[in-house]
Amino acid sequence: MSVFTEVKRVEWPKRGEVVFNVIIVFVLALAFSVFFLVVDQTIIGALRWGLGYGYD
């Protein structure tokens, strides 16, 4: 069986599915970046408070 025959048998995703998945990826990337920003800033704040100094 050739590669071309296999490619013809593949059920490719519809345009709507691809768009939906791209939107989900961007939303999740944004959500995780905001989450890690909050966690990072919380840790920095705790260290500044605990050690009594910070990056000024």
pLDDT tens digit sequence for 7-53: 889 999 999 999 999 999 999 999 999 999 999 999 999 988 888 87
**H or E segment to which residue 23 belongs:** helix 15-51
Radius of gyration of the chain (CA): 23
Tell me the whole-structure pTM to 2 decimals. 0.70
CA neighbours within 13 Å on the CB side: how many for 22? Answer: 7
Chain-centre distance of CA 18, in angstroms? 16
